[in-house]
C-alpha cells in the first residue's frame, strides 16, 4: 500500500517558539474514526488527548487553565502544593519547571512507583501520604497545609477553572471537528476522575442538542 505524504510546502512543520506554546498551539488534538468500532448506522470517534504535551492526558487542559488564572491574578509566589494521583501532578510539575516554581505533589498511598519516578525526574518534591484515595479530607488537608506554609494550592477538585478549561477548549474542539465533516454527536463516553471534562462536555453539547 502506498501512503501519500503531505506537501512539504503546505504542512505544519510544528516549530514552537516556547514550551508553553507546545501545549496550547497544538490544539485541537486529533479526532479519529475507529473503524473497528464503527458499523452500519454507527460511527465511533475518539479524541486523542494523549497528544497533549506535558502529561500526555486530558489533564493538561485544566492544569493549564488553573495555573494561567493564578498567574494572571498574581497568586503564584514560589511554591505550589497539590493533591494528585498522577497526571495532574505531572502536568503541574511541567508548568512549575517552566516558571521556576517549587512544586510538591501529595500522593495517596496506592500511587504507582513509576508515577513517583516521573514526578521526581521532573523536579517535584514528593509527599507520600497514608490516604488510600483522594478524598475531600485529603485535599482539604493539603489546602490547609498550603495556607500554613505560604504555598499556592490550585485544588483541582473545587476550582471552577477546571471544568471551564474543558468547556472552552475540549468540548468546543469536538463539536467543531465533527461539524467540519457533517457529523453531530449522539452519545459521549468518557472516563471520570474529578468529572470536570465530562461535566463540561455534556453542558456544552446540550446547549447545542440533546446528547447522552
Is 117 a domain residue?
Answer: yes
- Answer whether residue 66 is part of any domain: yes
pLDDT in tens, the chain (212 residues): 444 555 555 557 889 999 989 999 999 999 999 999 999 889 999 999 999 999 999 999 999 999 999 999 999 989 999 999 999 999 999 999 999 999 999 999 999 999 999 999 999 999 999 999 999 999 999 999 999 999 999 999 999 999 999 999 999 999 999 999 999 888 888 887 767 778 888 888 888 766 65
Give the helix ranges, DSSP H, for 44-84.
60-72
Distance CA 67, CA 97 (A): 12
Residue 110 domain-assigned (yes or no): yes
Residue at 94 is within a domain: yes
* Domain at 149, CATH number: 3.40.50.1100
Nearest to 84 by CA among 125, 56, 121: 125
Using only C-alpha atoms, what is the Rg of the chain?
A: 19
CA 117 to chain centre: 20
**pLDDT at 11 (0 to 100):** 58
Beta bridge partners of 45: 33
The whole-angstrom separation of Cα 58 and Cα 50 is: 7
> What per-residue confidence (pLDDT) applies to 192?
76
* Residue 59 falls in the annotated catalytic set: yes
99 inside domain: yes
Is 42 part of a structural domain of the chain?
Answer: no
State which residues form the domain around 133.
Answer: 60-153
Regarding beta strands 79-83 and 152-153, do their DSSP bridges make them parallel or antiparallel, or are they unpaired?
parallel
| Domains of the chain: total | 1
Residues 6+ apart with CB under 8 A from 136: 157
Amino acid at each position: 500500500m502506498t501512503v501519500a505524504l503531505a506537501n512539504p510546502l503546505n504542512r505544519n512543520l510544528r516549530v514552537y517558539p516556547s514550551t508553553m506554546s507546545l501545549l496550547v498551539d497544538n490544539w485541537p488534538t486529533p479526532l479519529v474514526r475507529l473503524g473497528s468500532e464503527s458499523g452500519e448506522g454507527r460511527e465511533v470517534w475518539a479524541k486523542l488527548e494523549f497528544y497533549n504535551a506535558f502529561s500526555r492526558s486530558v489533564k493538561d487542559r485544566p492544569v493549564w487553565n488553573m495555573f494561567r488564572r493564578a498567574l494572571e491574578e498574581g497568586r503564584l509566589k514560589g511554591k505550589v502544593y497539590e493533591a494528585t494521583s498522577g497526571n495532574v501532578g505531572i502536568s503541574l510539575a511541567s508548568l512549575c519547571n517552566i516558571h521556576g516554581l517549587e512544586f510538591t505533589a501529595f500522593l495517596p498511598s496506592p500511587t504507582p512507583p513509576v508515577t513517583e519516578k516521573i514526578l521526581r525526574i521532573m523536579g517535584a518534591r514528593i509527599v507520600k501520604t497514608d490516604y488510600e484515595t483522594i478524598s475531600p479530607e485529603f485535599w482539604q488537608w493539603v489546602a490547609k497545609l498550603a495556607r500554613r506554609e505560604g504555598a499556592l494550592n490550585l485544588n483541582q477538585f473545587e476550582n471552577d477553572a477546571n471544568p471551564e478549561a474543558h468547556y472552552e477548549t475540549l468540548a468546543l474542539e469536538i463539536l467543531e471537528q465533527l461539524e467540519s465533516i457533517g457529523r453531530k454527536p449522539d452519545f459521549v463516553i468518557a472516563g471520570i476522575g474529578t468529572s470536570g471534562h465530562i461535566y463540561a462536555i455534556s453542558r456544552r453539547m446540550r446547549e447545542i442538542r440533546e446528547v447522552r
